[in-house]
Structure 1
Amino acid sequence: MNPSIAEHYREILVGLGENPEREGLRDTPTRAAKAMQYLCCGYAMSLKEVINGALFESQSDEMVIVRDIELYSMCEHHMLPFIGKAHVAYIPTGRVLGLSKIARVVDMFARRLQIQENLTKQIADAIQHSTDAAGVAVVIEAKHMCMMMRGVEKQNSVMTTSVMLGAFRESSATRLEFLQLIGRIG
């Protein structure tokens, strides 16, 4: 745990008018620092480490989809969480990616200070780079605490972002199949 982060949390408590020495807050700066480091652990990860050689030869050239990958990230503007799910698809060209690695790629980028638009693109680009797929599609749906807890306080708003690369961008039929399979089009 980085002690300077804990000291900054202590200063925040003082700035808010709190007494960081009172019983309930004595260990809060350290706990908050540990929590923030965990929530932002994606900075310490690399795509190569996350993939860890889990690319396997395959003759499959049909769409591979992993739906409903839960994600937890932090809004870089307010440092409040956004929570949702990612749907990731790719069309292999001789190699497939280990199933858990797709979720790990989502986590690597989600566990950084983010905006959802960039997160969606980073995931798509990473899957494309790792697999050399014929196409990659990523859709993320998330609720943002910065919009729910403050500001306009809209509790039921969901932000949806998408990135379509290769065959998913070029072929409306491929894109439509993906959207139907993840339940976004009837």
Structure 2
Amino acid sequence: MDAVVKTFPPRADNTQTEPAGTPPAQRPSQEEVEAAVRTLLRWTGDNPDREGLVDTPTRVARAYREMFGGYDQDPAAELGRTFEEVQGYDDLVLVKDIQFHSHCEHHMVPIIGKAHVAYLPDGKVVGLSKIARTVDIFAHRLQTQEAMTAQIADVIQTVLNPRGVAVMIEAEHMCMAMRGIRKQGSTTLTTTFTGSFKDHPEEQARFLMMLRGFAA
């Protein structure tokens, strides 16, 4: 049965937080996917009928279903359950070093990195695992690092409505390491700030200090 792609609830301005280019609900069949992989194997110059490759199309289809499972999941739903019994806590909540694997939408090769996500609660908090799960959902889609950074911040701001959200992603892009310029070990950093983090530079500075291990 074809998977159904979930979308976020409409925002107040009637725009959608779902990234542009999200595939339609109708997807190719298993047979079509495997035929496409066989074509790619032939294009590389190899023989898809040899022993080592005969089951590769099935394996690739299975792997892609797992690696791109984020299209079937709704990060807003993950963040929907919150807790208000916080004993008045309203200071910064930071989940750092969230490891992830994604794929570049330009070359479909891996992006490997970690995300740091913080927010300033406004009367309610969300389970810490839900923050990590949100990162994973966006990572399991074709991505650019810039878009992924903004998407994580936007959905947390939209669903939790905190006083502010800060997101930093550090990642290595295999499209730079494996092809083209072939520079291994180069790391790209991106940030997105909303609310108090955007309006007050001292909150940004505190976020960055906490990432370095210094409590403010």
Specify the TM-score bucket, using the shorter chain as the normaliser. Answer: over 0.9
Correspondence 1:46 to 2:74: yes
- Tell me the SS of whatever aligns to 1:62: coil
- Tell me the SS of whatever aligns to 1:87: strand
Q: 1:165 aligns with which of 194, 210, 215?
A: 194
Greater percentage in strand: 1
Correspondence 1:124 to 2:132: no
- Tell me the SS of whatever aligns to 2:185: coil
When the two structures are superposed, what TM-score results if normalisation uses the length of structure 1? 0.95
Q: 1:82 aligns with which of 111, 132, 148?
A: 111
Letter in 2 for 1:126: V
Greater percentage in helix: 1
- Tell me the SS of whatever aligns to 1:42: helix
Correspondence 1:109 to 2:138: yes
In the TM superposition, 1:55-74 aligns within 5 A as 55-57=82-84, 58=86, 59-74=88-103
Alignment deviations for residues 98-125 of structure 1 (CA, whole Å, 9 cap, x no partner): 1100000000101000000000000001
The 8 Å contact of residues 54 and 101 in structure 1, kept in 2 or not, is answered as: no
- Tell me the SS of whatever aligns to 2:194: strand
Unaligned runs of 5+ in 1: none
When the two structures are superposed, what TM-score results if normalisation uses the length of structure 2? 0.82
- Tell me the SS of whatever aligns to 1:84: strand
Alignment deviations for residues 49-108 of structure 1 (CA, whole Å, 9 cap, x no partner): 323x43000322100000000011000000000000000000000010111000000001
Number of corresponding residues: 185
Instruction: Report the RMSD for the aligned CA atoms in angstroms.
Output: 1.6
Q: More deviation in 42-51 or 128-137?
A: 42-51
